[in-house]
Amino acid sequence: MKAISEIEINLDSVQEGLKLWVGSKKEGTLFDRFETAKDNNEARFQLVEGCYYDYVISDAKYILGDIGENIIQQHKRLTHTGRISPNIFVGTLEIPIIKKENIDMCHSIQLEVQSIKSGYRDDYRDMLELITEKCTDLLLQSNSPVSHHFDVDYSTNSQTLYQKFAFINSIVRTTEFKDAIHRVVTSPVTKWTEIHEIKDIRSIRRLSNSNVKELLKGGKRTELPSGHYLESYSLNSLPERITSIRKTDSVDTPENRFIKHALETFLKFCSDINKAAPEDSKLESESSTLINELESSLQHSIFKEISRPTTLKLNSPILQKKEGYRQVLRTWLMFDLAAKLIWQGGEDVYGAGKKDIAILYEYWLFFKLLELFQELFAIRPKDISDLIKPTKDGLNLQIKQGKFTALKGVYATSTRKLNIQFNYNRSFSGRRNYPDSGSWTTTLRPDYTLSFWPYGISEREAENQELIVHVHFDAKYKIANLKDFVEQHNDKDLDEEKIEQKKGIYKNADLLKMHAYKDAIRRTGGAYVLYPGTKSLRREGFHEIIPGLGAFPVRPSKTDNGTGELKTFILEIIEHFVNRASQRERMAFRTYDVYKNEPVKHDEVNELLPETYGANRNLIPHSTFVLVGFYKKENLDWIIKSGLYNARAGSKRGSLRLGPGETGAKYLLLHTNNETKTSRLLKIVENGPRIFSKQTLIEKGYPSTPSQDYYLVYKVQEIKNGDFENLEWDITKLKQHKERRGSALPFSVTLAELMKSKVQS
């Protein structure tokens, strides 16, 4: 393969001397693959995705036809010139040549668009093979509709035919299948066979029972000479020739007949496809290549000795267990089912000869993730079998971009059971308000979403109570390494990036999308990229595994696809959810507790309060409690000096009833007889009250004789630094306040409630 700067395509079949020139705008992005293009069923001249190419037709009467997706961009005035922009298209571009006079296509040319990833051809085959394998596995499940019979309709549109052929091609052209055929022809199963031959009686060394009968009855006989010892057995003559039986190895076994039948079945299918394919189309080209390969296999001498089968003994131990035979049997079963399979999502992959490797990677990942989650979680079989639906056209695979697919399961441990839901292309609407599920901005649709919530409640209820967590994954085939996803920037890099953004180029668009999923979709625990690389990246938001962002390598490989690291990560997330004391669990409750009710207008606090930093970091008005307590005037000096305030303990009237507000109070507001307005606010400096006996209070210098045996005592101090300075509160405006004798009863209020009773200056 050599890189060139310009190609010249001869169009003499349209008009003598007509030519098309295509030139690259970037070095090393235009290739002539004359030697290898045919082997890969590709066009000779090849472009690279994401690059731009100028083209010129030698005669202005002709133009390149539109093929959609703004790939062909004609010059506004000189319409026979323009630009070819493949964008993310990968595969064969079939571009029509149109004569402007009658606007009819008079010819077409083919250009191949390579992927920027060097191994995309192998990736494409491997991914297509796995998708076919998984589809047929679904069909072979006992509860799936395999009893329905459908024939391949060769009169359907070429795109559907190409899709079916691509499934078959992905099975038959695998290395495993070719190796299996090689094993069969080099080490076939044989059986002993008796060969009957007519031989001269003089060459027979040993006579069988049937030969003895021939001695008596055989024709064309020769008289024995007089006195021959056989005369004593009443034999006067012997046949000149009798039947000889020879045992030999034979390859004409039922198992080998099946192998020949399978190859002939594949060949017939490809021949029928080839006849139905449009002339000079990619379908015709690829089916011809496969026909040649199958015919070459059938030309082996072993198949000349094998007859046609009368029955197929599919339960043969040799077919089911012997190397080579086992693979061909499996391929034949897959072939039979794949020929009936219709996949609407395949339009995105096979349409117009393209190889949309990025979309195929997304579908491939669906099956890899499904395989992983089936291993980890108890996904209901019915959910999986519902992925295949019988239709009048065939067996329809219900997986397509933009269509929601949900598979539900359960994860059970000895301490907790969790509902698991695997979503493909689930949309999170931006039109729903909190606390419903969705996005709080615009509608977002991650490729895959794994959701967890406690067993025993519905998904909707889990959303409303902040008990569900979503973890999103996006397929990014085009990311080659982590540097493409995230890298450190300095000020100069950021300046250059801003300039590029003005041109519409966003280097970190994939990273920003992960942030969008995590920050915009409600109850999202993490968002991660899946890409065909080698290194992973995990960034945790705080101290636990989620919330987080990152990337995991999952490669289209049969031996090392990287799902082991992803599996470990999923198990870590599960272990995290089983932990009832996690920070995420506490945060989820706080979120639910704060947002479960809409704020009320009169609950606003717009007063001058100490700032919430340092020692006052937890000074939240609606969760900060103030104890409103009564004091006797003669005790005030002792309260201030000792830093102690006592309230009655016990069950008698006037005793302090302990609740969350009383035990967790951070401030003490004092009032005395006939005092309804007070500014005497003290700070409680210990967590909760202590219990003092009467004797302890006396020892502390209590100024009067205590009347109770025990008291609840708060440690207090005067407020400094000007906090709450010059503020006064009217306690009669507090709903817990009681009149007359009840006015001395202590109670607690929130700081927000207290500030509403502030006396306006």
pLDDT for the residue 532:
87
Task: Convert the pLDDT of each residue in 524-533 to its tens digit.
Answer: 999 999 998 8
Task: Convert the pLDDT of each residue in 182-227 to its tens digit.
Answer: 999 999 988 876 667 777 777 776 777 777 777 777 777 887 888 7
Q: Is the pTM of this model over 0.75?
A: no
CA angle 334, 476, 350 (to 5 degrees): 40
Task: Convert the pLDDT of each residue in 625-667 to its tens digit.
Answer: 999 999 999 999 999 999 999 998 877 777 888 889 999 999 9
pLDDT for the residue 105:
67
Residue 490 confidence class, pLDDT cut points 50, 70, 90:
low
Whether the per-residue pLDDT at 146 is higher than 50: the answer is no
Find all residues with CB under 8 Å of 118, minimum gap 6, and list them. none
Percent of the chain predicted with pLDDT > 90: 33
Whether the per-residue pLDDT at 179 is higher than 60: the answer is yes
CA end-to-end span of the chain: 89
pLDDT for the residue 74:
92
At 709, list the tokens: 């045996």
pLDDT for the residue 701:
93
Task: Convert the pLDDT of each residue in 27-71 to its tens digit.
Answer: 888 988 877 777 666 788 999 888 899 999 999 999 998 887 788
Does residue 713 contact residue 644 with C-beta atoms inside 8 Å?
yes
pLDDT for the residue 392:
56
pLDDT for the residue 457:
94
Task: Convert the pLDDT of each residue in 336-346 to its tens digit.
Answer: 665 555 555 55
pLDDT for the residue 141:
52
Whether the per-residue pLDDT at 149 is higher than 50: the answer is no
H-helix or E-strand spanning residue 470: strand 469-475
pLDDT for the residue 341:
58
Q: Pick the residue with more confidence: 665 or 535?
A: 665
- Domains of the chain and any CATH numbers: 2-114 (2.60.40), 191-224+236-250 (no CATH), 363-590 (no CATH), 603-755 (3.10.590)
Q: Pick the residue with more confidence: 84 or 150?
A: 84
H-helix or E-strand spanning residue 451: strand 448-454
Distance CA 511, CA 264 (A): 51
Task: Convert the pLDDT of each residue in 430-460 to its tens digit.
Answer: 988 899 999 998 999 999 999 999 999 999 9
Does residue 583 contact residue 542 with C-beta atoms inside 8 Å?
yes
User: What average pLDDT does the structure give for the chain?
Assistant: 82
Distance CA 213, CA 211 (A): 5
3-state secondary structure of 536: coil
Average pLDDT over every residue of 373-401: 68
Task: Convert the pLDDT of each residue in 689-722 to its tens digit.
Answer: 999 999 999 999 999 888 889 999 999 999 877 7
Distance CA 444, CA 520 (A): 8
Residue 75 confidence class, pLDDT cut points 50, 70, 90:
very high
Whether the per-residue pLDDT at 354 is higher than 60: the answer is no
Whether the per-residue pLDDT at 678 is higher than 50: the answer is yes
Task: Convert the pLDDT of each residue in 592-601 to its tens digit.
Answer: 988 888 887 7
Find all residues with CB under 8 Å of 376, minimum gap 6, and list them. 411, 567, 570, 571, 574
Task: Convert the pLDDT of each residue in 211-269 to its tens digit.
Answer: 777 777 777 788 788 877 777 776 778 787 877 777 677 888 889 999 998 899 889 88
